[in-house]
Every structure is written in C-alpha cells, then in structure tokens.
C-alpha cells in the first residue's frame, strides 16, 4: 500500500540525509528492566538499518544493574547482538553515565529501552535536562503509556473503549487481600493479571479460577508494586503502528495469532510459534475503525514520534477495544511496528530517518518556545537576550 493511501500523513520536513553532515546517533539500549534482552535485539536491528552514509551510530549500553558501559564494551555488545532474545551477550557496565551525552558529543538520542528505566520517561527526562533531541514520545506521554493503570483511566475518561480492570497496589493487597479479592471478583472469569509498568508480556498470568488470583498477583508483584487485573476478552489481537507527524500516520493493522494459550514472552521471542499476520484479515470498515481508534488513543495520551497501539477485536460483538499503547515498540527482526509501517509505505530505513527528523524538529521548536517564554523575564532582569547561541 502506498504511503499516500495510509490514514494521515507524515511530517513534511527534510529527510535526515539531504545535504546534511552525517549525524551522530546515540543508540541507547539494554537497561534495568525485564525486557533487557529484547532491547539489545532491537538495537542490533536499528543499527543495521541506519544508513552509514547519513548516520554514525554511537552505541551506549546500560547493564541490568543500571551501569553504563564503556564505549568499547558498547561496541562489543552491539556487534554480538543476535536476532533472538536468547542470543544476547552479557553486558558489563562500569560507569554512572556515558559522559558523551553530558558533553553533547552526539546530535540526537535514539532510546531503544523497553520497559521501566527507559520507556517510562526516565531517559527522555535525562535528554530534556541535557538539552538533547531524542526520538519518540516526550516525558509525560512515555510515563503515562508505560503505566497500564493511567493509560486505561485516560482512555476511559476520553470515552475510548478499553477492557474492564481493577488496579491493585501491593501494599493494598498485603493490608487487605479479602477486600482486593472482592473487587476483582466483580470481573468475569477468566482474568489476566499483569505488572502495571512492564511490557513484552513479562509477568502475566491467566486466572481461570479465583483460587489462582493470589499466586498470579505474587508473580506480578515480583516485577512491579502495582498490578492490573483485567477481564479476559475472547478476542483477536490487533496492532496498529502510528508514526508521528502533522497529522500522524496510522498503518494498516496487523494481527497476532498466539501459538500458545496467550501471547506471552516465550511466544513472542523464543518459541517462534505465533503468527504475525500483516495485514490483518479485516474488512474495509474494520480497518478504518481500528485505525481511527489507534489515532484517537495516540492523541488522547499525548503521544509523539511513534507508538504501537494494541487492540482487541471482541469476537462476541465485533467491537474494538484499546488494550495498551507502547511508546517504544519492538524493533526486532520480527517486530510488528516496523513491519506494519513498511506495509504502509514507510520502509525500515525511512522509518528511522523520519523518527530522527521528528526529534530534531521537535527539539528546535521547543527551544524556540522556551527562549520566547524566558525573554520577558530576562529583559526585566536587565539582560538584552537569552537563548543558546
């Protein structure tokens, strides 16, 4: 499908390679979350797809303890990154922070950090503090989309359909398990129990009988102190890739057909048993509806740059429900986000180029806005001008 046929258009700005010096791209990956391995695989795919004539990849790796590696170690890890999460090399960090960021020795930061301490607004906040352009959503949208509870509450407030759920804090569960159990029993069985701030289906359990709720919550609390208990929908799993722009572009939808009972971490990254259908076998009306919902969710949560919107197609009534929004979707060789955009007229190298262009454009726009806001204060203080030179 040609890009012009996709719903919405990308931002009309120059591409990164037009008459511009080669850009130094800080590729930040690894990290402290349970999705460390997936991040490394994604980063390897991104590095391979960035045109070396336009971009110089500057790998920056964070180990599982949150330590940043030396430049030499980062290059070693990136070179050894396999195509599967069980082929990821060990990462040995030794630094509190890669000082090349502090010294602004890069032109743009591309965080490929899935899950907490990366996808949740933390690395985005660091880039804001250092006045560095970065790809993807900003601090607020990253934090919101990482938190399933906040996401679902905002979707519900905006009138967008989403599965019913109960938010359970670990302290609340420890203090009053009976009360929590009563609240959860308002949902129909089966239910899914998930860590609230994690992705890649890590720590998820399917509960068919209420006797299994406690064990499922304990698994979820092993990853996060906030859990979500969500009604199980007999549904097809549909995904839409959204690429930021004016207006954003919504891809053709894809469908995930699990090879196991549900689409868990093993099914996603290890077993190769699931089917990823691109495009999804939907009729024209369903395609239009699901893309509209994806764009509505993207806007409601304040997303920019990119996001993958995961939805359910309820097999009981044929209605779509928004399940989750991923601010840094997978970029592995099998990931749906780049596949769907390629199907919609934006091949992988062009996708990365657009994400970088969007980051640079947003950064310039926000700097001008910040300078304009500060100027009256500076003038009152007796300074003639403010702003970076």
Annotated catalytic sites, by residue? 35, 200, 269, 308, 310, 324, 326, 330
Q: What is the C-alpha to C-alpha distance for residues 358 and 377, in angstroms, rounded to an integer? A: 30
Integer Cα distance of 222 and 39 in angstroms: 20
Question: Residue 169's beta-bridge partner residues?
Answer: 226
Within the chain, how many helices (H) and strands (E) appear? 13, 13
Taking the C-alpha atoms of residue 254 and residue 311, their distance in angstroms, rounded to an integer, is 10
Long-range CB pairs of 140-143, under 8 A, 24+ apart, other chains included: 140/302, 141/301, 141/302, 141/303, 141/304, 141/327, 142/327, 142/328
Pairing of strands 108-112, 191-195: unpaired
* Region for residue 208 given its phi and psi (left: phi exceeds 0; alpha: psi -120 to 50; beta: otherwise): alpha
Contact 304, 361 (CB under 8 A): no
Q: How many alpha carbons lie under 13 Å from residue 96 in its C-beta half-sphere? A: 1
| Residues 218, 220, 224, 229, Cα dihedral to 10° | -110
DSSP H or E stretch at residue 354:
helix 348-380
Per DSSP, 51 falls in state -
Which residues, in sequence order, are bridge partners of residue 324? 310
Tokens at 355, concatenated: 């994400």
Residues in a beta bridge with 192: 206, 230
């Amino acid at each position: 499908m040609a890009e012009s046929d996709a719903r919405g258009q990308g931002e009309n700005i120059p591409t990164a390679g037009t008459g511009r010096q080669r850009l130094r791209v800080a590729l930040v990956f690894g990290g402290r979350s349970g999705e460390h391995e997936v991040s490394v695989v994604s980063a390897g795919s991104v590095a391979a797809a960035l045109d070396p004539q336009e971009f110089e990849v500057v790998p920056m790796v964070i180990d599982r303890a949150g330590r940043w590696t030396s430049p030499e170690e980062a290059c070693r890890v990136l070179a050894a990154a396999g195509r599967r999460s069980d082929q990821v090399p060990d990462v040995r960090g030794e630094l509190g922070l890669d000082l090349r960021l502090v010294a602004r020795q890069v032109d743009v930061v591309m965080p490929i950090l899935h899950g907490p301490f990366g996808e949740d607004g933390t690395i985005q906040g660091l880039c804001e503090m250092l006045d560095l352009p970065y790809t993807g959503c900003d601090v607020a949208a990253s934090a919101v989309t990482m938190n399933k509870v906040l996401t679902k509450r905002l979707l519900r407030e905006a009138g967008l359909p989403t599965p019913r759920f109960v938010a359970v804090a670990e302290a609340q569960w420890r203090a009053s398990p009976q009360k929590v159990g009563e609240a959860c029993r308002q949902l129909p069985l089966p239910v899914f129990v998930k860590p609230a701030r994690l992705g890649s289906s890590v720590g998820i359990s399917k509960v068919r009988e209420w006797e299994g709720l406690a064990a499922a919550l304990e698994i979820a609390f092993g990853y996060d102190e906030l859990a979500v208990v969500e009604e199980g929908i007999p549904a097809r799993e549909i995904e839409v890739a959204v690429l930021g722009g004016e207006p954003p572009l919504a891809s053709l939808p894809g469908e995930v057909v699990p090879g196991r009972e549900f689409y868990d971490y093993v099914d996603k990254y290890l077993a190769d048993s699931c089917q990823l259908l691109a495009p999804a076998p939907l009729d024209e009306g369903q395609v239009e509806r699901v893309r509209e919902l994806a764009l509505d969710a993207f806007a409601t949560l304040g997303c920019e740059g990119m996001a993958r919107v995961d939805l359910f197609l309820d097999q009981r009534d044929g209605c779509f429900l928004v399940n989750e929004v991923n601010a840094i979707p997978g970029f592995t060789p099998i990931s749906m986000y780049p596949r769907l955009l390629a199907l919609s007229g934006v091949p992988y190298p062009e996708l990365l180029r657009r994400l970088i262009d969007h980051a640079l454009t947003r950064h310039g726009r926000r700097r001008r806005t910040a300078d304009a806001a500060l100027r009256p204060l500076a003038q009152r203080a007796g300074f003639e001008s403010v702003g970076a030179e």
